[in-house]
Amino acid sequence: MTGHPAARPIPTDLERLAGLAIVPRRYYGRWVAAAIILLLFAWVVKAFAEGQIAWKVVGQFLTAPAILNGLVNTVIMTACAMTLGIVLGVLFAIMYMSPNPVLRGSALFYIWFFRGTPLLLQLLLWFNLALVFPRIGIPGLIEFRTIDLITPFVATLLGLGMNQGAYTAEVVRSGILSVDLGQSEAAKSIGMTRLTTLRRIILPQAMRVIIPPVGNEFISMVKLTSIASVIQYSEILRNAQTIYYANARVIELLIVAAIWYLAVVTLLQIGQFFLERYFSRGRGERRSRQKANRGIAAGGPP
């Protein structure tokens, strides 16, 4: 009458049912996909093995002085440009969020200009700065000829760092915005000044949001340094090119450069993993607790 369909009968051997062995589900799709990918991979490996690649040459040039020298320059430039970028990013993010209209306006201008023009153009501008400012310094006190000051290293550093700063400013700003307003009210209530609140309470929590995109940009930066070869900064790709112009081993030297880029990026990714873990302290607990619960649901200890 009530419209409930008749209930199915309950098996009589419930006791036995609960004790039966479990056969895991089979994932046939995964096997097919794996087979296709392995085939493709084998084909690429075969092409490289049979192609005109002298692997001995790759091994030989992997540790050649010019390559290692380029590697060091790439790493130094990445570190310096990222440091400058992060310092400027934090600075301009704070200026952007300041109640002072002059500070906010200049931050807005900075982000607008450096995000709005191509990086290559900015590099060339810095490199040719002497055309606009022949001399730099405080007149009568210390002065330099711009040509002497703006070496390829300095021009690259300014170009990459200032450009990076404009992007990092937006990342830092979104990180700061992600921190609950109650945190800074609590900080004020124990007598912290604005700057202390930022340093001790807001930024450490914003880091959780800031690190993944900055890690991403760090990795981009490693590869972006290669653009500096246009203004004669001798990073690894430029040095590899110089060598293959002489010996015509193009693919071999490109592979050498690729191996080193991958090595540096791998190290950075490992570093990012540990940084992320550090700055998510006090946040990750809920997830691990869920995992523990799932373990219990799935059978728990025998």
Partner 1 sequence: MNAQPAPIVVAHQVSKRFGPLLALNGVSLSIAPGTVQCIIGPSGSGKSTFLRCLNQIEKIDAGAILIDGELIGYRRVGDTLRELSDAEIARQRLATGMVFQRFNLFHHMTALENIIEGPVTVLRRSRREAVDEAMALLARVGLTDKRDAYPIEMSGGQQQRVAIARALAMRPRIMLFDEPTSALDPELVGEVLAVMRDLARSGMTMIVVTHELGFAREVAHDVVFMDRGEIIEQGPPAQVLLSPQQARTREFISAVLT
- Point out which residues bind partner 1 (CB under 8 A): 180, 182-183, 185-194, 196, 200-201, 204-205, 279, 281-283, 285-286
User: Taking the CB of residue 127, how many other CB atoms lie within 10 A of it?
Assistant: 22
Q: Rounded CA gap, 210 and 89, in Å?
A: 11
CB of 2 to partner 1, least distance (A): 37
Q: Rounded CA gap, 111 and 108, in Å?
A: 5
Q: Where are the alpha helices (DSSP H) in the chain?
A: 14-19, 28-50, 55-62, 65-96, 101-116, 119-127, 146-149, 152-177, 181-189, 194-197, 203-224, 236-247, 250-279, 285-297
The smaller minimum CB distance to partner 1, of residues 171 and 202, is found at 202
CB of 187 to partner 1, least distance (A): 8
The smaller minimum CB distance to partner 1, of residues 143 and 285, is found at 285
The smaller minimum CB distance to partner 1, of residues 12 and 189, is found at 189
Q: Rounded CA gap, 51 and 250, in Å?
A: 13
Q: Rounded CA gap, 238 and 253, in Å?
A: 11
The smaller minimum CB distance to partner 1, of residues 7 and 195, is found at 195
CB of 143 to partner 1, least distance (A): 38
CB of 195 to partner 1, least distance (A): 8
CB of 202 to partner 1, least distance (A): 10
The smaller minimum CB distance to partner 1, of residues 2 and 189, is found at 189
Tell me the backbone φ, ψ of residue 36, rounded to 5 degrees: -60, -45
Question: Half-sphere exposure (CA, 13 Å, Cβ side) for 65?
Answer: 0
The smaller minimum CB distance to partner 1, of residues 135 and 283, is found at 283
Helix axes 236-247, 65-96, angle to 10 degrees: 150
CB of 284 to partner 1, least distance (A): 9
